[in-house]
């Protein structure tokens, strides 16, 4: 009876325990997914911290010691974030230490750079840096610990590619002699030895106690959680390995740690338990982190498993698509029946819709035609106005042209009579002098231009003011006393009459063509409107009076 009771209790307890574990794991996954969504917030915090250190480096009168300390902080900040930048600052620290011959600084910087080289798969350079550091008895214990830790990590990474694991164990044993037995470093290294000897439960006891002393989400807590998860992985306990890998990943993301192993390990655990979607999500994120940090070691590790998980994810998606296709086919058949049921109503609605659309299109066409008609009428009005003005100008100037021709014929007749009198009275010298004189021509030209100015201003009385309105105030053209138009105004008067060819204008005003061109350019440069629109605006002067 007792055995039966125990069996019943066990059977009833196992589901409750399993449910509790699943609930805890689901809660952790929800936290992890939320933290991944908020990744940019943690990235911004990290970048702000780095920017603050960089601003400190730019302060005036900063000492070499301050520069070294700030640069060392930048190496520490960049190491799990962007490896290339960390390498740059580590090299800067080495140069500074060499410059002022500070050995401890030099050793510290070389150790930091060696670890970065290891992460970048530059193992030979990393080993050369460590070999260049003389290990003496007077070296501080803390520096020795860092030295042997770096050597241990170098051969830990190196052991993935060759048989260097024995060297890794030698350096770990050396560290065990340097650490205080109660220190966390001693305990974590001791746990590694227990794991190697398959004493998994003892190792877990040690590591979980250390983890309980580090409850804040720091990088150290992430590393401890990863070690615990890896121990559970060796034991084949998927639930617990996913739990601690998730705890590690949450701490890494909150600290903007891009050089991490937790998401990669968690993705593999999810893949092995057939949680393909989550596995793909986490391995994809892990690959992005490795690419961002440019940590070659992590990139190689992730790239080895990424194709496997991606293939499984694609197969899962294809299977879902096939199921979806079957479902859609069933829905399609149902839709056919539904379509047949509403076909008549739909046909009637289409008829009504076509009628409405036809009416709407007819209205639209009518509106377009009305608009086109209005535009045509407007253009016709403009053309008629231009024709009226052109006819008006032609009538005015034809009358003036005939009057002027008549005046010039009278002048020629008087000039001929004067020459005839001189010739008949024998005044040959006076006759010759009068023929050579240009005074008469100049008088005629002056009289001609005066008549042109008066005639033009009768047609366009506000021409001078309208032209000046197109110029800058300090560049306006003002004719001299008793002068109606000057040369510049006369040129643009001809342009207003439609004579835009500089050669014709030059012939009319008895000037070289270049002079006319220069006058036009000079006036355009004074324009308050765009230069290319100036003469177009001149052509419109006086058009408003017909409106």
Closest CA to 75 of 57, 102, 101, 98: 57
Per residue in 468-494, pLDDT tens? 988 998 989 888 887 888 888 899 899
Q: What pLDDT is stored for residue 424 in this prediction?
A: 77
pLDDT tens track for 322-380: 888 888 877 888 888 788 877 786 877 788 778 788 777 867 887 787 777 687 667 76
- On the 0-12 / 13-18 / 19+ scale of CB atoms within 10 A, 435 is exposed
Question: Tokens standing for 154?
Answer: 């170098």
Q: Which residue has the higher pLDDT, 372 or 383?
A: 372
* Cα Rg, the chain, nearest whole Å: 49
In this prediction, residue 17 carries a pLDDT of 46
What are the tokens at 46?
A: 């990290």
- In degrees and rounded to multiples of 5, residue 527 shows phi and psi of -65, 140
**CB-based contact 70:57 (threshold 8 Å):** yes
- CB atoms under 10 Å from CB of 491, counted, come to 23
Report the percentage of the chain scoring pLDDT > 90. 33
Instruction: Report which of residues 364 and 225 the model is more confident about.
Output: 225
115-119, 308-312, 433-437: range with lowest mean pLDDT: 433-437
pLDDT in tens, 406-453: 565 566 666 666 666 777 787 677 766 667 666 667 777 888 888 888
More confident residue, 513 or 435: 513
Find, among 44, 37, 51, 89, the residue nearest to 67 by Cα.
89
Taking a C-beta distance cutoff of 8 angstroms, is the pair 62, 54 a contact?
Answer: no
Torsion of CA 504, 507, 510, 514, to 10 degrees: 60
Distance CA 257, CA 272 (A): 25
Q: How confident is the model at residue 7 (pLDDT cuts 50, 70, 90)?
A: very low
Axis crossing angle, helix 219-235 with helix 238-254, rounded to the nearest 10: 160
Main-chain phi, psi angles of 471, to 5 degrees? -110, 160
pLDDT score at 376? 61
Both structure tokens of 285: 């994120």
The confidence score (pLDDT) of residue 393 equals: 59
d(CA 344, CA 350): 10
**Chain centre distance of CA 514:** 52
pLDDT band at 388 (very low <50, low <70, confident <90, very high): low
Instruction: Report the candidate in 111, 81, 77 with the shortest Cα–Cα distance to residue 94.
Output: 111
What secondary structure letter does DSSP report for 480? P
pLDDT of residue 11: 42
**SS3 of residue 471 by DSSP:** strand
pLDDT in tens, 259-287: 888 898 999 999 999 999 998 998 888 88
Q: Does the structure show a pLDDT above 50 at 546?
A: no
Q: What is the DSSP string of 353-417?
A: HHHHHHHHHHHHHHHHHHHHHHHHHHHHHHHHHHHHHHHHHHHHHHHHHHHHHHHHHHHHHHHHH
| Residue 504 pLDDT exceeds 80 | yes
pLDDT score, position 15: 47
Q: At what angle do helices 123-131 and 141-158 cross, to 10 degrees?
A: 150
Looking up tokens 């650490």 gives: 179
> Which sequence spans correspond to the domains of the chain?
41-140, 438-546
Measured CA to CA, the distance from residue 377 to residue 274 in angstroms comes to: 78
What is the torsional sign of CA 292, 297, 300, 306? negative
CATH topology for 41-140? 1.25.40
The residue whose two tokens read 């990590």 is 153
pLDDT of residue 410: 61
- Residue 160's pLDDT is what? 55
């Amino acid at each position: 009876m007792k055995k039966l009771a125990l069996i019943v209790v066990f059977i009833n307890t196992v589901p409750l325990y399993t449910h509790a574990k699943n609930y805890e794991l689901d809660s952790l996954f929800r936290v992890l997914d939320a933290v991944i969504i908020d990744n940019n917030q943690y990235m911004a915090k990290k970048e702000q911290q780095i920017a603050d250190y960089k601003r400190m480096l730019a302060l005036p009168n900063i000492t070499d010691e301050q520069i070294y300390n700030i640069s060392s902080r930048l190496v520490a900040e960049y190491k799990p974030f962007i490896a290339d930048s960390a390498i740059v600052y580590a090299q800067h620290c080495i140069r500074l230490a060499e410059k002022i011959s500070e050995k401890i600084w030099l050793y510290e910087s070389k150790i930091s750079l060696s670890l970065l080289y290891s992460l970048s798969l530059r193992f030979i350079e990393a080993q050369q840096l460590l070999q260049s550091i003389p290990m003496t008895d007077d070296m501080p214990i803390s520096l020795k610990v860092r030295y042997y830790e770096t050597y241990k990590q170098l051969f830990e990474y190196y052991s993935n590619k060759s048989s260097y694991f024995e060297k890794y164990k030698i350096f770990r044993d050396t560290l065990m002699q340097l650490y205080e037995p109660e220190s966390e470093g001693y305990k974590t290294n001791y746990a590694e030895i227990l794991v190697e000897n398959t004493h998994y439960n003892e190792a877990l006891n040690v590591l979980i106690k250390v983890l309980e002393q580090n409850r804040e989400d720091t990088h150290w807590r992430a590393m401890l959680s990863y070690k615990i998860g890896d121990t559970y992985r060796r034991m084949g306990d998927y639930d617990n390995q996913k739990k601690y890998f998730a705890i590690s990943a949450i701490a890494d993301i909150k600290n903007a740690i891009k050089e991490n192993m937790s998401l990669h390990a968690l993705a593999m655990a999810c893949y092995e338990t057939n949680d393909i979607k989550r596995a793909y999500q986490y391995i994809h994120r892990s690959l992005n982190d490795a690419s961002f940090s440019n940590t070659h070691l992590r990139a190689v590790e992730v790239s080895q498993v990424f194709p496997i998980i991606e293939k499984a994810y694609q197969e899962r998606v294809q299977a879902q698509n096939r199921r979806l296709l079957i479902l859609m086919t069933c829905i399609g058949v149902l839709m056919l029946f539904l379509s047949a049921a509403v076909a008549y109503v739909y046909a009637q609605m289409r008829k009504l819709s076509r009628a409405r659309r036809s009416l709407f299109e007819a209205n639209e066409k009518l509106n377009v035609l009305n608009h086109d008609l209005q535009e045509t009428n407007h253009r016709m009005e403009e053309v008629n106005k231009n024709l009226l003005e052109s006819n008006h100008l032609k009538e005015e100037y034809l009358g003036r042209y005939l009057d002027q021709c008549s005046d010039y014929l009278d002048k020629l007749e008087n000039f001929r009579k004067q020459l005839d009198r001189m010739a008949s009275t024998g005044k040959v010298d006076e006759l010759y002098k009068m023929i050579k004189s240009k005074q008469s021509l100049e008088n005629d030209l002056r009289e001609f231009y005066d008549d042109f100015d008066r005639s033009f201003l009768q047609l366009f009385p506000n021409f001078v003011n309208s032209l000046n309105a197109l110029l800058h105030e300090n560049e306006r053209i003002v004719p001299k006393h008793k002068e109606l138009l000057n040369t510049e105004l006369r040129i643009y008067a001809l342009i207003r009459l439609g004579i835009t060819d500089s050669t014709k204008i030059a012939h009319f005003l008895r000037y070289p063509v270049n002079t006319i061109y220069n006058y036009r350019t000079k006036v355009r440069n004074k324009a308050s409107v765009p230069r290319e629109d100036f003469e177009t605006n001149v052509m419109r002067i006086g058009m408003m009076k017909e409106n």
